[in-house]
Structure formats: C-alpha cells, structure tokens
Amino acid sequence: MISVHIHCNNGGVEFIHAKANVTVSSIMNPVSVPHVVRDFFPLNGTVNYDGQKGPLLSVQATELYDGIFIGITMNHVVVDGASFWHFVNSWAEMSRNWPNDHQCSISIPPVLRRWFPNDTGVDQRPPTIRFQFDLDNEQNPQQTTLPPPSPLLEERVFHISSQSIAQLKANVNAEHSTTHKISSLQAVLAHIWLAMTRARRIQIDAYTTCVVPVGNRSRLVPPLPKEYFGCAVYGVVLTAKVGDLVEKGLEGTAKLLNNAIEAHDDAAIRRAWDAWVEAPKWWSRDNVPSNVMVTQNSPRFNVYGNDFGWGRPVAARSGFNNKLGGLVTLYEGSIEGSMDFEVCLEGPVLEALSNDAEFMEAFTGKLL
C-alpha cells in the first residue's frame, strides 16, 4: 500500500513524498521487476506536450521498509540522457557535501548556452517550427494524450559481466577488419536484437527494427561541450528482414549497427534537423514499427556514483510511462565494467527470451 504524504508544485517543479511497505530485496526481484515500482515514478500518463503548463521536472522520494527509492521524471524536450544524469550527479554531489559546502558548488557545471545548427557563435533566436496541428487545441487527443502501456508488459533486468562483454566484442571484431571497430555496446545490442527476434518467433520474410539513441555532442563540427545541458541526441533507425538478420548472425548484425551509427556524422545530424524542422514528427506508442527494439539510456552514464549522503545506490530501474514491447533500458553495472539492461516485453515473449540458451550463454547466469 502506498500513501502520499506531501505533494507540492512550485515554479514548474513537482515534489512528492510517499511511503510504501516494500523492501529493497523485493524490488531487486530475481524473476521480474514488480509492478509496484511503476508507482514510484511521478507524472505517469503525461507527454512532453504537457510541459507547456505542467512541471518539467518531478521527483518522488518513496520511503521503503529498508531504504529509499528516488524516482525522477524530466521532460525530454528539455534534456536527453546525458543531461539528465549530469543533473542527478550534480544534485547527489551537493547533497552529500552539505553542510560542509554551504555554496552548494558542483565539480562539473553545466553549459546552458543554447545551440542550433546555424550557430554563428552568438546567442540567437531558435528557428520557427510549424507543427501540423494547433498547439492550443486541447480537443486534439491524438497529439496531446498518450495511450496507456499494454497491461501484458513485464520487465526483467539482466546482468552481463565485463568478461562476457569483452568476449562478445572480441568475437564480432575477429570476423571483420573494418576501419571502425565494433564497440562493446554494439556487440551487446546485436546479441539482444537477435535473441529478441527469436523470442518473438517472427516470420523470416517480416521486418524488424532497431532504434539506438546516438549522442550528437561529439559528432558535430565543431563539437558541443560534453557538459552541454539540453537535448542533443538522435534515434538512429535500422530495419532489416528477419531472414537476413538471422543469416548474418551476431557478427553481421553487429556490423549493421556499427555502420548505421558511424554514418551519423555532422552532415547527417544537420540533414535530420533540417528535415524535422520542415516536417516535425515524433514517436508515440501507437506509431512505432512492429517487431521493434528501442534502446534508451547508456551504460556510460554514472548511476552508481550517485551517493546522496546515504551510501552507494544498490540498483536502478526505469519508469513505466514510455514503456512499449521491445524497450531495452541500459545501465552501467554495479561491478566495474559490467552492464545491466532492463528488457520490457509481453510476458510470454520475455519468458521465451529468458529461456533462450544462446541468449543466456553470454551472461553470468545471474538475473538481478
């Protein structure tokens, strides 16, 4: 049972304090993420559009039986994953240094200056974006509401050791003498994509899609500072016929991902921006491709360094608001060099994935 004790909304920032008769060990369920975790995140059922009038940031601190769960929701128009975790890292740093540091200083300040593709080195007005609907028309449910996630969805967290990651990376690179070496993350994503395709039992003449968020900061010319606070990420979309993907195997699938990500350079970023400004479009659960795998977050983000003064975190989980079948949320592992990923699928498909010997062979065999 969850009881909300404090609820305040001030200046676009919402804070909620709640209590739940739930233990940390139950959240770190060895089989699946319990549904109660979904209630630990605020702003469920909202979309980015709601940020016109509602809060852009909402935090819920839930007191568990033996710990504290901090659920944070931020509007994706304002930040991407890099800026989100920069904010959380800075907040944790200020919290653990208080009261010795009354100035609430942070070691890595954000860069708040706005950037646009036609940047001339001075602050400028953003370009005019003409939406194909009336932003003030609250009677347009297609654009202002979010269909609820499927009640059949379940989530499970898998852990892969640094040794297993290194082996996957070595396997896929041994087959190719390309200029661009396939990264550890690309090798892991290829492994998951293939296994998810098998678990879904898709016909070989059907298509499957993989969406990978790629950061723009370092790919722009000149690059943006890594501390740039905003949303500078793009979803690279790769679609393949199931039969072709299976035939290519792990090495070929990893190379497909590598080629698509490497092609996302400065010119590609600017082309995508120009096309979006000309004809804005966005993702929602009712227009995503079938048989899709969408990844979010990154194992490069600092999760376990977020000590608020209460000690090192024990786990990370994601909210349910944007969940869809095929969503994979990536985290750094609690052990250095390892990786965790939370997979969201319909229950029977998730069970088939967990029972896939080829899929599980790459892991430590431990489910968090």
Task: Name the residues annotated as catalytic.
Answer: 76, 307
Distance CA 268, CA 262 (A): 10
Spatial distance between the Cα atoms of 98 and 137, rounded to a whole number of angstroms? 46
CB 212 within 8 A of CB 257: yes
Cβ contact 69:27 at 8 Å: yes
- The Cα–Cα gap between 349 and 63 comes to 33
Helix axes 347-354, 184-200, angle to 10 degrees: 120
Q: Are 287 and 143 in contact (CB under 8 A)?
A: no
Residue type, 79: V
d(CA 57, CA 72): 7
**Considering just the CA atoms, what is the radius of gyration of the chain in Å?**
21
Which of 208, 214, 174, 172 has its CA nearest to residue 193?
A: 208
Interatomic CA distance for residues 62 and 22, integer angstroms? 10
Residue whose entry in the numeric block shows the structure tokens 């390892």: 338
